[in-house]
Chains A and B, each alone.
Chain A
């Protein structure tokens, strides 16, 4: 079975300070991992994805994530937060079940950015 745990339901940072959103996963197979972002009243947008190539993955808007197999983690980081980063972020693992593939979502982390 596959699962993903987002360790913080809410994170608050000041504009210009670093962002760290934590994600741990479990997977019986080599996983594909994603971070999606959801801005208020919007659909989900892909930020970045890990697919067994480079372990440090760069995404849009200055975000990046590092796949650490030994720690089963895929934390999302950004060096300097911007007000427009305020949104909900989902860590997602690609699950394999009964020969089918589906996405398993974490419960989400709401990022607040204070001026």
Chain B
């Protein structure tokens, strides 16, 4: 979905390096999410933010941190990357004020493929 963009789309890095993945949205949604996708495991929630001042841990937040710089921007950082953080990372947004958002529908970015060597 072009309304949710992620940069970079692909990244290869080495163990111990600091990495930042960025997400921007033009949908005007308050809620933003970071997920990681691993084969056979579906998507798992890392962090989520319901507004600029609200940050919450998801089910697998260890080793990650986030920053909500503005309503439209939500960054995910790996302070010291390790190989088992190799995965496909997705950003998503939702708008609880809409009918779709009220029932939980989320809009996903195209993903960032991260490889940690």
Q: Which residues of A contact B105 (CB under 8 A)?
A: 34, 46, 49
Q: Write the B43-61 contact mask toward A (1 if CB under 8 angstroms, else 0).
A: 1110010100000101000
Binds B, one of A12-20, A66-74, A79-87, A96-104: A96-104
Given contacts A51-B103, A102-B58, contact A44 B42 (CB under 8 A): no
Q: Do the beta carbons of B103 and A106 come within 8 Å of each other?
A: no
Tell me the interface secondary structure of chain A in the complex. Answer: strand
The CA-CA distance from A105 to B60 in the complex, in Å, is 14
Q: Do the beta carbons of B42 and A94 come within 8 Å of each other?
A: no
The CA-CA distance from A107 to B40 in the complex, in Å, is 5
Q: Do the beta carbons of B108 and A9 come within 8 Å of each other?
A: no
Residues of chain B whose beta carbon lies under 8 Å from any beta carbon of chain A: 1, 4, 33, 35, 40-45, 48, 50, 56, 58, 90, 92, 100, 103-106, 108-111
Q: Which residues of A contact B41 (CB under 8 A)?
A: 107
The CA-CA distance from A32 to B1 in the complex, in Å, is 22
Q: Which residues of A contact B4 (CB under 8 A)?
A: 43
Q: Do the beta carbons of B90 and A101 come within 8 Å of each other?
A: no
Q: Which residues of A contact B42 (CB under 8 A)?
A: 90, 105-108
CB distance from A83 to the nearest CB of B (A): 22
Residue of A nearest to B9 (CB): A41
